[in-house]
């Protein structure tokens, strides 16, 4: 009569300190990879510049006039919304990067090592958050150059922190896509289908009052609208509480649901 020895999962044998050490080492590895491949930072560098110039100088006059403040007024309106947009757009990179690592065989090597499985995912999220903060810094530099007035520094830092919280939660969705879809192109395509309606069906670029009723109903449940409204209230004044709590609620819900899913599919992918 034979017996089968069941080994405990690797994660179960690694203490919290070990997980933290593994995560730190993987963060360093990912940062060194960026250093060797600086082109991977082009989106974080150029996207905030391109979007700021596009929306301020192409749409700023007409939308700003409708808001009653001209182009200068539109700059104060759109920049907080673009901080929210950065949190969503750059989050997609964690999924495409994860998919590329799988297809290149890097993940097979990681999974053969006695390291916490979750450490690989947490390290990816940490590095993408660093990229998002870099992009936000670039955005604010360009925003000041085109006329944005920073009147509330604590509010600015609070808005960036809130955007980082939401970004970390949505990254779990893209990590799951990066594991389940076969290549980075599929992740990008699926990400576009998710990002496009959320970004443009929101209050990021224009107020929602003039939108059709059905679209206004969508924006009421759109987390990017809540994040943009909260960031706008924190940075330039206005209501904050509703957008803040809605954003935090979405962040907690997405993390609670998608983090276990992402870790599970990562562990079981063959």
What value does the mean pLDDT of the chain take? Answer: 84
pLDDT of residue 13: 67
pLDDT of residue 270: 55
R_g over Cα of the chain: 20
pLDDT 10s digits, 249-265: 999 999 999 999 988 88
Segment 220-238 shows an average pLDDT of 92
Segment 178-196 shows an average pLDDT of 85
The pTM (predicted TM-score) of the whole model is 0.86
Nearest Cα neighbor of 59 from 84, 77, 47 is: 77
Q: Is it the case that residue 233 has pLDDT exceeding 90?
A: yes
User: How many angstroms separate the first and last alpha carbons of the chain?
Assistant: 31
Segment 115-122 shows an average pLDDT of 77
Q: Is 38 helix (H, G, I), strand (E, B) or coil?
A: helix
What does the DSSP assignment read for 117-128? HHHHHHHHHHHH
Segment 73-101 shows an average pLDDT of 87
Q: Per the structure block, which two tokens stand in for 149?
A: 């007035």
Count the Cβ atoms, other than its own, within 10 Å of residue 104: 10
CB 55 within 8 A of CB 198: no
pLDDT 10s digits, 5-58: 333 455 556 666 667 777 888 888 888 878 887 777 888 888 899 999 998 988
CB 207 within 8 A of CB 111: no
Q: Per the structure block, which two tokens stand in for 77?
A: 């309106």
Segment 177-194 shows an average pLDDT of 86
Q: Is it the case that residue 96 has pLDDT exceeding 90?
A: no
Higher pLDDT, 34 or 227: 227
Q: At what angle do helices 184-200 and 92-104 cross, to 10 degrees?
A: 170
Q: Per the structure block, which two tokens stand in for 239?
A: 């209501």
Residues in contact with 157: Cβ distance below 8 Å, sequence separation at least 6, in sequence order: none
What does the DSSP assignment read for 181-201? SSSHHHHHHHHHHHHHHHHHS
């Amino acid at each position: 009569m034979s017996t089968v020895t069941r080994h405990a999962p690797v994660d179960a044998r690694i203490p919290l300190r070990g997980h933290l050490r593994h995560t730190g080492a993987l963060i360093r590895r990912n940062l060194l990879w960026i250093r060797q491949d600086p082109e991977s930072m082009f989106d974080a560098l150029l996207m905030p510049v391109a979007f700021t110039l596009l929306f301020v100088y192409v749409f700023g006059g007409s939308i700003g006039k409708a808001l009653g403040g001209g182009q200068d007024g539109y700059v104060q309106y759109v920049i907080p919304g673009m901080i929210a947009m950065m949190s969503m757009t750059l989050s997609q990179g964690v999924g495409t990067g994860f998919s590329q690592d799988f297809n290149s065989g890097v993940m097979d090597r990681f999974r053969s090592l006695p390291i916490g499985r979750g450490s690989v995912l947490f390290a990816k999220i940490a590095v993408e958050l660093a990229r998002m903060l870099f992009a936000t810094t670039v955005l604010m530099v360009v925003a000041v150059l085109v006329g944005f007035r920073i009147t509330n520094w604590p509010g600015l830092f609070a808005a960036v922190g809130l955007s980082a919280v939401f970004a970390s939660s949505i990254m779990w969705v893209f990590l799951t896509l990066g594991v389940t879809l076969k290549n980075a192109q599929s992740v990008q395509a699926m990400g576009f289908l998710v990002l496009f309606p959320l970004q443009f069906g929101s209050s990021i670029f224009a107020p929602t009052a003039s939108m059709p009723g059905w679209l206004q109903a969508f924006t009421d449940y759109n987390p990017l609208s809540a994040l943009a409204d909260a960031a706008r209230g924190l940075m330039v004044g206005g209501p904050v509480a509703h957008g803040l709590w809605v954003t935090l609620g979405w962040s907690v819900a997405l993390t609670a649901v998608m983090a276990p899913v992402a870790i599970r599919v990562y562990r079981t992918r063959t």
